[in-house]
Structure 1
Amino acid sequence: MSHGGDELLLASRALPDGLRQNELAVPGIHCGGCIRRIEQALTALPGIAQARVNLSTRRVTVRWRAADGPPPVRETLEGMGYEAHLQHGADDRPDATLSTLIRALAVAGFAAMNIMGLSVSVWSGATGETRDLFHWISAAIALPALAYSGRIFFASAWRALRRGQTNMDVPISIGVLLAFGMSLYDTLHHQPHAYFDASISLLFFLLIGRTLDHVMRERARTAVKGLSRLAAYGAMVVEEDGSQRYTPTEDIAPGMTILLAAGERVPVDATVLSGRSDLDCALLTGESAPQAVAAGSVLRAGTLNLTGPLTIRADAIADDSFLAEMVRLMEAAESGRSGYRRLADRAARLYAPVVHSAALLSFIGWMLATGDAHRAVTVAVAVLIITCPCALGLAVPMVHVIAARRLYERGIMMKDGSALERLGEVDTVLFDKTGTLTLGKPTLRRDGVSADHLAIAAALGAHSRHPYSRALAAFAGSPSPDFHSVVEKPGLGLEATVDGGAWRLGRAGWAIDGEGEGHDAGDAAETLLTLNGRFVAAFRFDDDSRPGAADAVAALRGAGLSLAVLSGDRAVPVARLADALGIATVHAEMLPGEKTAHIRALAGRGHKALMVGDGLNDAPALAAAHVSMTPATAADVGRQAADFVFLRPDMDAVPFAFAISVAARRLVRENFALAVIYNLIALPVAIAGFVTPLIAALAMSGSSIIVVANALRLRPARGAGRRRVGTAAPPRIAAAAQ
């Protein structure tokens, strides 16, 4: 086995059915063509079961058959011109590609500005030695700028040509180098014209589009890193001799006894041996209410112990735990989404062969017609420059940048430009309940509760961080008994002693001696107040719907979209809220994997879903959906997994973002049409020899300006995303949703 094979094997993770998996960081991935070539090349290797490329993270995931031995994955990628590194964890390095692009853009802009200034002098009538001097100064400025800024395109073009392939950077590189080379030749021979300004201006405009596009793609992010941070670094393990030792999570084995203090996360899937506590299980169910656990309760890795110490027994290793399964769901979902091909990527596949053919035929035609090689090269360069994809390169990123600005003005953050395209394609909207359609914070129902009893409960609640206690503590301030002591009973409630006995605030079974009277013990969203074990008052809590939820649902339904609720919460409150909002399809008590499976089933039937959720348990579903959105109050992992984050509490952000996406999709198509029309007009004129390389560069710049101006027209449909938008959608939106 080679050294590379040993390294691949050691860094791999075992999967069922005799498979192993590796992740490799490949920073050179930058377009849909890269995805296609890498996946085809790796899949063709013996032993490879699957190869998937994640464009947003620039990561390649390969699954290979262990019986066949480690395949030459890194060698193949490096042979294709892609630098590859085995990835052992989250990559927190700064974005070196963006830094390189910004520096290249700055150099090209500075050089283009100065060369244009010198060209003005030539255009103004400078002749003879003065003109030649300006040309030589222009060449001296252009050469280092071309070498430094142009390497972005030259390196990519060379990798493609070395493999006998082509990409959009090949004609760009040929056009820029030919324009510079011909200008240098004309300067040496004292010709009146040189086109250094054309070559460097061309680079400048192309780098603007490349940088904008990279920024939008990089905001796509990965949520796997954030989800992994929920894992505990280690836990206090009780040895056989009774001693205690802090053990890293990856070294915890099934059967080990662990001491879990309040405030710590469960390191691996486990069972409670002793103790009582409340657990924040939002990672599992998304429900805001903590769950009581006691001896025999099963715990999931990543859930948070809130109120009391527990002694637990490890049931699985870290790689087999629930949290590890969540991470794997995220990885699979994000890799699946990376298969989406953006409009710009698909258009770029057609560009290079057409431009190469036009330039080559122009050169051959003029050589046959005139026999003048200089003239033939000039025409070919003009064809390459005038058809340069500046407008095509700006068509998508400019619309996405303007859309990001429009969304930001309404408190919506867009992370990925491709998500804007995907949002305009959806036909189904799936909502989580807790924290999405609702605010995720319990509020007290004031009906039938006396002020005196509320004051006592508020005074007790101030001594706990339980969500229900916090909701009650908000009403503190009225006169209340002087408590001698207040003790929190983990998983049960609060007990305070007074001269008249003992007050209890908590679960019905603990707070009341016997069955109790005058209350309904079947309501789980209920806390009882008792004195000496006798029922005094019941406090019930609601999770209020988010402002604008009803209007947002009505607007989306009016746009022709199907609506459904996917929630890990209990069936009764989910059904109650869905009925109030007018959503007929309801799925309650769903685990994260079930949500993801439901979304994949919809995709299998040809539906494209928008997932709107906020909880830790929603992260895999957010990543698996065709596009996703989350409120800013969501868990960190939810925000990282989503394509859009809305900062305001109002749900109007959802229909507004959908309207913007439809308008943006229309403008992108218009920009492509403008670019095509420009080329249909400009290309014959250039082939006919009526255009110099400088005029070609100016025409190319003009087409780019037109595309930018068209992008500035981006506006949502009138009234979209506002209150009382009504149910009638603009025809374009309704068509997009069908």
Structure 2
Amino acid sequence: MSCCAPGAECLADAGTSNEELLLASRTLRDGLRQTDLSVPGIHCGACLQRIEAALGRLDGVAFARANLSTRRVSVQWHGGRPPPLIAALKQIGYQAHLHDAAADRSDPELTRLLLALAVAGFASSNIMLLSASVWSGAEAQTRDLFHWISAAIALPTLAYSGQVFFRSASRSLRHGRTNMDVPISIGVLLAFALSLYETTQHGRHAYFDASVSLLFFLLIGRTLDHVMRARARQAVAGLARLSARGALVARPDGTQIYLPVDEIEPDMTILLAAGERVPVDCRVVKGRSELDRSLVSGESAPQLAVEGTALQAGTLNLTAPLTVVATAAAKNSFLADMVRMMEAAEAGRSAYRRIADRAARLYAPVVHATALLAFIGWMMATGDAHRAITIAIAVLIITCPCALGLAVPMVHVVATRRLFEAGIMIKDGSALERLTNVDAVVLDKTGTLTAGRPRLTLVVETRTEARALAAAIAAHSRHPYSQALAALGEAQTPVALDAVAEVPGAGLEARSGETIYRLGRPDWAAAPLSVPPNAAVVLSANGACLAAFRLDDQLRSGAQEAIAALTAAGLSIEILSGDSEARVSDIAGRLGVRFTANARPADKVARIAALRQTGAKVLMVGDGLNDAPALTAADVSMAPASAADIGRNAADLVFLREDLQAVPRAVAVARQAARLVRQNFGLAIAYNVVAIPVAVLGQVTPLMAAVAMSASSLVVIANALRLGERRWRPPAAVRAGLTPPLTPGLVP
């Protein structure tokens, strides 16, 4: 049951061939080539030293340098065949893959927001210091000097940092609409203009601090919003890491050439080595091997591939070389279908709008109309243009939607921190709102409800040393079953083994004198009548069964408690898996939930669509490539950190710890966050109900309005901070063990 053909061991672990490494490298000079690898596990200086030392010991490596900030390793090497770079890193505990330069492209919009935020923060703090000096009773000349210095700081700050809002407001007005940026822009510019006028007239009050501080507070929320949205757009890009970059193609004249995957056409013959990923959809024409299809179907057990077997792009060839014929071009492959389904699902979700954006459609016109009416009313009442403008500006500032703009982002920031402390990463701020309304939870099995690692348990043992013998033979292989068997007993054989050889797709054969031991598939290792019906792996001596082992799925830590907590919270639960019905029903029976087995990626998307058509809001929890379209199609999605790159990128939330109770914990935090968001909107509305009449009646100056506006923002922030006061605990019924199990069964 070897995982690799001889000499291909390093490739099976990485799923990256020598040809791919060669294709991804670049020539430097004098036969020297450079390969760049991404190593996400780098986290400290000790990691750098360990990685550089391990790679430096490889034959042919001339130079290796690791970078902590980019988590990237650059390796320069000699020769025509790349050193086993990825395998060497895995041996010391670091997963690596070929570096994708496209993933490092900078985000100019984020850079612009961060610079604007930094400038506004610096200017706000300095103007506040000057204002405090004025408030403390500065003399007229000193006051005028401080006002002019404040103006000199505020003008370039508004010109630079204010562009974020001014451009948005301008675009909105050009199209005959209003948004939250319109009253912000008008209030800021009028406050600055009036302050500048007051400064030229030696007035006692200037409001530069109000205009710049307002920008600073709102830029915080705008920057966080951009970061959350940008992370949610990276799902499709992760597929590039799972697809092969090329393949070795056999030409009709007998020669061989390594072609990039985009140049592979149907009917081309491909030589697929052990440890390589299938580049395009194809059919086996020669060879016998086992396949890892967990990223494609969710099936955790390796599957046999023989002549005539259809292979899907992204499948990993485990044990032996295969000769295959391409049946589709890369653009029509399974992975390409994944991209199209995910893009379609993302397009369906793009119409979603944040609560604050929806409220602003009504809020902004009301603010403008109120300020205008206040100006007109005071002009008619007094004829004093200066007083009328001052009151109109005070109305604009005191009603400026700063608290409204912070109502959602501040709760999201606190909720994100709380989830992070619980080992849950949130990638899209809107996921919290969507998670609040969830009433149905769909879970994948392999790698989600289960640990994703097969566990072999002893069924029968006819000799006391059989288990140790099986472990000793299994130690000669890197096959997943072999690794599970090696954990069952001491890897010290009770008999002397003369030789151990692999039979691809069948198992391991060992000799000891005249005795032939076989460890592997039941139908190959022993006579059928001597094998228990539920055996997955058999150890035999000259055809007689010595030991039989069953393959079990291990439930992920906290799975039962998580299901109970979700049920207690009123959510319906079902399992949606590509695994076999027998294996899925076993897990569903243990958890007491409904299930669907043998589900292809399109089936999962269809099932979620059917649930949504009934009015259900669906939370999808999955980890594999086959789950990626479903994760994107659901209303909200979660994935464990152990998920494939594409699964993590497609999910809205990622939980870093093994415990599945992260799912009900996230739901609980989202529901509490939703309550606080509603409270914040209530506080913002209540504030304006009180503040607007006071401002319209001329009882506040622009400075007092700015203070009141800031106070309303602080109240909203303080309310958001209450989200972190209480630690999450399972519902009382779950803690007491009173939650009744569901009745398991197939989903109709």
What TM bracket, shorter-length normalisation? 0.7 to 0.9
Alignment of 1:581-730 (within 5 A): 581-583=591-593, 585-714=594-723, 719-720=729-730, 724-726=734-736
In the alignment, is residue 504 of structure 1 matched against residue 518 of structure 2? yes
Q: What CA distance in whole angstroms lies between the structure 1 residues aligned with 2:640 and 2:103?
A: 26
Matches of 2:732 and 2:597 in 1, distance apart? 29
Task: Please state how far the C-alpha of 1:451 moved relative to its aligned partner.
Answer: 4.5
Write the letter of the residue equivalent to 1:560: G
1:431 aligns to 2:431 (yes or no): no
Superimposed CA distance per residue, residues 50-98 of structure 1 (whole angstroms, 9 cap, x where no aligned partner): xxxxxxxxxxxxxxxxxxxxxxxxxxxxxxxxxxxxxxx9664222222
CA separation of 1:728 and 1:364: change in aligned 2, threshold 3 A: farther
Q: In structure 2, give the amino acid aligned to 1:565.
A: I
8 Å contact from structure 1 (residues 261, 308) kept in 2: yes
Q: 2:546 aligns with which of 536, 546, 549?
A: 536
Q: CA deviation at 1:540?
A: 1.2
1:455/1:476 contact within 8 Å kept: yes
Q: Tell whether 2:577 aligns with 1:564.
A: no
Corresponding residue to 1:138 among 124, 144, 150: 150
> What CA distance in whole angstroms lies between the structure 1 residues aligned with 2:334 and 2:344?
15
Which consecutive segments of 4 or more residues in structure 1 shift more than 4 A? 89-92, 715-718, 726-729
- Counterpart CA distance in 1 for 2:357 and 2:275 is 48
Instruction: In structure 1, list runs of 5 or more residues that go unmatched.
Output: 1-88, 730-738
1:160-179 C-alpha deviation (Å, 9 max, x unpaired)? 22233222111111111111
Cα drift, residue 221 of structure 1 = 4.0
**What letter corresponds to residue 186 of structure 1 in structure 2?**
E
Tell me the distance in 2 between the aligned counterparts of 1:201 and 1:289.
59
Contact 1:551 1:723 in 2 (8 A): no
**Contact 2:530–2:544 (CA under 8 A) maintained in structure 1:** no
Corresponding letter in the other structure for 1:540: R
- Aligned amino acid, residue 544 of structure 1: Q
* Shift in alpha-carbon separation, 1:549–1:722, aligned structure 2, 3 A: farther
What is the Cα deviation at residue 338 of structure 1?
A: 2.3
Q: Which amino acid in structure 2 is aligned with residue 222 of structure 1?
A: Q
Measured in 2, the distance between the counterparts of 1:234 and 1:564 equals 39
1:488 aligned residue:
502
1:599–1:621 Cα contact (<8 Å) kept: yes
The alpha carbon displacement at 1:726 in A equals: 4.9
Residue in structure 2 matching 1:165, options 177, 188, 211: 177
**Residue identity matched to 2:482:** S
Distance 1:390 1:726 in 2: 45
Match of 1:178 in 2: 190
Q: Is the 8 A contact 2:469 2:491 kept in 1?
A: no
Letter matched to residue 473 of structure 1:
A
Q: What's the secondary structure of 1:263's corresponding residue? A: coil
In structure 2, C-alpha distance between the alignment counterparts of 1:721 and 1:309, rounded to whole Å: 53
2:130 aligns with 118
The residue number in structure 2 matching 1:461 is: 474
Deviation at 1:692, TM superposition (A): 1.0
Cα distance change on mapping 1:706 and 1:451 into 2, 3 Å? farther
Question: For residues 126 and 364 of structure 2, what CA distance do their matches in structure 1 show?
Answer: 31
- In structure 2, which of residues 343, 359, 370 is the aligned counterpart of residue 331 of structure 1? 343
Retained in 1: the 8 A contact 2:568–2:731? no
Q: Is the 8 A contact 2:459 2:548 kept in 1?
A: no
SS at match of 1:353: helix
Asked if structure 2 preserves the Cα contact closer than 8 Å seen for 1:355 and 1:387, the reply is: yes
Looking at structure 1, the residues matched to 707 and 200 of structure 2 have their Cα atoms a distance apart, in angstroms, of 24
Is this contact kept in 2: 1:216–1:397, CA < 8 A?
no
1:235/1:722 Cα in 2 relative to 1: closer, same or farther (>3 Å)? farther
Deviations 1:242-278 (A, max 9, x none): 1001111111111110000111111111000101111
SS of residue in 2 equivalent to 1:284: coil
Q: Which residue of the partner structure matches residue 311 of structure 1? A: 323
Whichever residue aligns with residue 369 of structure 2, its letter is: S
Flag the 1:299–1:557 CA change in 2: closer, same or farther, 3 A.
Answer: same
Select between 198-207 and 304-313 the one with higher mean Cα deviation.
Answer: 198-207
Q: Distance in 2 between matches of 1:589 and 1:251?
A: 33
Structure 2 CA distance for partners of 1:236 and 1:151, relative to 1, 3 Å = same
Show the counterpart of 1:261: 273
Superposition deviation, residue 124 in structure 1? 2.2
Matched letter for residue 698 of structure 1: V
| 1:612, distance to aligned residue in structure 2 (A) | 1.3
The superposition leaves residues 266-316 of structure 1 with CA deviations (integer Å, 9 ceiling, x where unpaired) of 111100010111111112210111111011111001111111100000001
Matched, 1:100 2:112: yes
Match of 1:577 among 579, 587, 591: 587
TM (norm. structure 1) is: 0.83
Secondary structure in 1 matching 2:232: coil
Q: CA deviation at 1:481?
A: 2.9
What CA distance in whole angstroms lies between the structure 2 residues aligned with 1:509 and 1:428? 42
- Aligned to 1:152, the other structure's residue is in SS state helix
CA displacement at 1:724 relative to structure 2? 3.8
**Quick one: distance in 2 between partners of 1:145 and 1:723?**
56
Letter in 2 for 1:573: R
* Alignment of 1:147 onto 2:159: yes
The amino acid that maps onto 2:362 is: L
- Cα distance in 2 for partners of 1:511, 1:570 equals 23
CA contact (8 A) 2:568 2:734 kept: no
Give the Cα separation in 2 of the matches to 1:558 and 1:723: 7
Alpha-carbon distance in 2 for matches of 1:573, 1:293: 21
Aligned residues between the structures: 636
What one-letter code is carried by the residue in structure 1 that aligns with 2:499? Answer: S
Distance 2:656 2:420 in 1: 9
Structure 1 partner of 2:528: 516
Structure 1 residues 410 and 617, CA gap change in structure 2 (3 angstroms): same
Q: Distance in 1 between matches of 2:560 and 2:537?
A: 29
Contact 2:180 2:357 in 1 (8 A): no
2:37 maps to what in 1? none
8 Å Cα contact 2:472-2:493 kept in structure 1: no
Q: Deviations over 1:160-209 (max 9, x none)?
A: 22233222111111111111111111211222221111111111111122
**Structure 1 CA distance for aligned equivalents of residues 709 and 470 of structure 2:** 73
Q: Structure 1 vs Structure 2: percent identity of aligned residues?
A: 63
Q: Please tell me whether the aligned partners of residues 255 and 313 of structure 1 are also in contact (alpha carbons under 8 angstroms).
A: yes
Q: CA deviation at 1:127?
A: 3.2
5 Å-filtered alignment, 1:278-427, equals 278-427=290-439
| Range that drifts further, 490-499 or 235-244 | 490-499
Q: Distance in 1 between matches of 2:706 and 2:246?
A: 61
**Counterparts of 1:718 and 1:237, CA distance in 2:** 56
**1:121-169 Cα shifts (integer Å, max 9, x gaps):** 2222223322211111111111111111111111111222223322211
Would the alpha carbon gap of residues 339 and 455 (structure 1) be closer, same or farther in structure 2, given more than 3 Å must change? Answer: same
Q: Are the aligned partners of 2:522 and 2:531 in contact in 1 as well (CA < 8 Å)?
A: no
Contact 1:555 1:727 in 2 (8 A): no
Q: Which amino acid aligns with 1:455?
A: A
Of residues 192, 199, 210, the one that matches 2:204 is: 192
Distance in 1 separating the partners of 2:738 and 2:362: 39
3-state SS of 1:577 partner: helix
**Are 1:236 and 2:245 matched, yes or no?**
no
Structure 1 position 340, deviation (Å): 2.1
